[in-house]
């Protein structure tokens, strides 16, 4: 289970143990190796299962739990101990850390705090133990447009679906165009919940609630769409967005965010949290002018500037009189990807609500987006195509066997 953290829990209190377990069990990067209800048995449990993380609750009997921390760190030095307690007493924290605990977290446990602790342990362990069993990282890709109508949503949806076609990927799409977003139309989905429902429940938001708010498409991608109503009285703040993204990163290998064209605080926050920002344009003068204008704006933000990659969409439009070489000269930066124009295929895909990877997998347009997906995820295009082929064969095999 490469890239997954194997974890064992000890908590004699069944109610709090179940609360811990239920919060963590749905997170793909965490594998619950074992659970234990008796402090005196836990050393034997970890000796047999050899987890990466031992999650030890102190509250049932702090003295026994502190002794247990010392025994686990002595008998299994490769196992990192995370302590959970409702008490934040300084002397208790100090004793736990002196006995070998790597992290001390409050209870009720907040998922973001746990994930941050995992990340710190990963970084510390990486300095001495290499990358063996390191948690799988998650990529956030934001698709932004230099103007309306340049094909941002079509690119975001089809990029996400291409990524989801890979066997080892799990992908979620966030529609941040809160007024006019239409990602649900592209996937022919009528969602039960939207990003506004999530925001309204942010005070009790956890992984399970967030996962229930997502709608899954047949291609494997999940969608968190924009609000149904135009009423924007319930504003989504950047802090809410950061929490949503943090929880999604905990379980999905890729997040694809379709932002609005207003470049408001939410859009910029999403871009700052991203690993890659695909700045989408076309070969026309207004778009090229906006590429330059936006590039100058992003250059003032250290959290965005290095992430920008220019994507030229719809190459081959008949009314385009600007060449790629002229565009390069104008914008003064590299074009990361050139996507060919195929109006008929794209419109058919949109009208049917079926992504290109399912509607027209062999089209040049589809193969180009698959190549883009491979580039941003660090995989080869052939790996993406092989994965799609395996999924299709598996489906056909099921259909044949069912006859």
Nearest of 235, 232, 210, 236 to residue 223 by alpha carbon: 210
Q: What's the token pair of residue 8?
A: 């064992």
Which tokens in the block code for residue 257? 């965010």
Q: Are residues 114 and 146 in the same domain?
A: no
Domain residues for the domain of 42 are 5-129
If asked whether residues 108 and 207 sit together in one domain, one would say no
Q: How far apart are the C-alpha atoms of 255 and 161, rounded to whole Å? A: 11
Would you state the pLDDT for residue 131?
44
What is the greatest pairwise CA distance in the chain?
77
263 shares its domain with 310: yes
Helix-helix angle 324-331:285-298, to 10 degrees: 30
The distance from CA 353 to its chain's CA centroid, rounded to whole angstroms, is 23
In a domain, 248, yes or no: yes
Q: What are phi and psi of 402, to 5 degrees?
A: -85, -5
Output DSSP code: residue 230. S
Segment 205-230 shows an average pLDDT of: 87
pTM: 0.73
In this structure, are 181 and 59 located in the same domain?
A: no
The DSSP symbol for 165 reads T
In a domain, residue 134? The reply is no
Residue 109 tokens, joined? 């446990």
Of 100, 129, 158, the domain-final residue? 129
Closest among 17, 61, 23 to 39, alpha carbons compared: 61
User: Same domain, yes or no, for 245 and 393?
Assistant: yes
Q: Which residues of 102-138 are buried (b: 16+ CB within 10 A; e: fewer)?
A: bbbbebebebeebbebbeebbeebeeeeeeebbbeeb
Token output for 329: 């000269």
Q: Which pLDDT belongs to residue 187?
A: 96
pLDDT digits (tens, 9 = 90+) for 330-341: 999 999 999 999
Write phi, then psi, for 175 (nearest 5 degrees).
-95, 105
CB atoms within 10 A of CB 87: 14
Mind listing the pLDDT tens digit for each residue in 178-202? 999 999 999 999 999 999 988 888 7
Rounded distance, CA 76 to CA 273, Å?
36
User: Predicted confidence band at 377 (pLDDT cuts at 50, 70, 90)?
Assistant: confident
Q: What is the pLDDT of residues 13-61, one digit of tens each?
A: 999 999 998 888 767 678 888 999 999 999 999 998 899 999 999 999 9
Helix (H, G, I), strand (E, B), or coil: what is residue 222? strand
Which of 229 and 266 is assigned the larger pLDDT? 266
Per-residue confidence at 111, pLDDT binned at 50, 70, 90?
confident
- pLDDT by residue (tens digit) across 135-158? 456 899 999 999 999 999 999 999
Q: Is the pLDDT of residue 232 over 80?
A: no
The reported pLDDT for the residue numbered 362 is 96
Q: What percent of the chain has pLDDT over 90?
A: 67
Residue 145 belongs to a domain: yes
151 shares a domain with 13: no
């Amino acid at each position: 289970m490469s890239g997954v953290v194997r974890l064992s829990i000890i908590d004699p209190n069944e109610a709090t143990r179940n609360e811990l377990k239920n919060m963590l069990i749905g997170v793909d990067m965490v594998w619950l190796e074992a659970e234990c209800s008796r402090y005196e048995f836990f050393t034997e449990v970890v000796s047999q299962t050899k987890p990466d993380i031992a999650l030890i609750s102190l509250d049932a009997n702090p003295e026994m739990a502190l002794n247990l921390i010392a025994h686990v760190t002595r008998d299994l030095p490769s196992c990192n101990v995370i302590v959970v307690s409702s008490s934040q007493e300084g002397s208790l924290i100090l004793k736990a850390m002196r006995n070998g605990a790597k992290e001390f977290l409050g209870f009720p446990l907040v998922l973001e705090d746990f994930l941050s602790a995992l990340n710190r342990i990963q970084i510390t362990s990486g300095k001495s133990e290499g990358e063996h069993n390191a948690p799988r990282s998650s990529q956030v890709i934001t698709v932004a447009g230099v103007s309306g109508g340049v094909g941002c949503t079509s690119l975001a949806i089809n990029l996400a679906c291409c990524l989801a076609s890979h066997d080892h990927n799990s992908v979620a799409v966030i529609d941040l165009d809160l007024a006019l977003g239409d990602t649900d139309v592209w996937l022919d989905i009528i969602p039960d919940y939207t990003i506004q429902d999530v925001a309204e429940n942010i005070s009790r938001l956890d992984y399970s609630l967030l996962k229930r708010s997502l709608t899954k498409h047949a291609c494997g991608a999940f969608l968190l769409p924009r609000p149904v109503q135009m009423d924007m009285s319930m504003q989504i703040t950047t802090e809410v967005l950061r929490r949503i993204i943090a929880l999604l990163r905990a379980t999905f290998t890729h997040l694809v965010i379709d932002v609005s064209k207003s470049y408001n605080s939410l859009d910029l926050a999403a871009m700052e949290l991203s690993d890659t920002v695909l700045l989408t344009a076309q070969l026309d003068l207004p778009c090229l002018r906006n590429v330059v204008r936006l590039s100058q704006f992003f250059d003032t933000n250290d959290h965005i500037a290095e992430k920008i990659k220019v994507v030229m969409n719809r190459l081959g439009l008949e009314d385009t009189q600007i060449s790629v070489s002229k565009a390069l000269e104008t914008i003064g930066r590299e074009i990361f990807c050139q996507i060919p124009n195929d109006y008929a295929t794209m419109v058919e895909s949109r009208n049917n609500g079926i992504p290109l990877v399912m509607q027209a997998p062999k089209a040049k347009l589809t193969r180009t987006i698959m190549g883009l997906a491979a580039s941003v995820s660090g995989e080869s295009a052939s790996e993406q195509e092989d994965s799609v082929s395996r999924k299709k064969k598996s489906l056909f095999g099921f259909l044949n066997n069912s006859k």
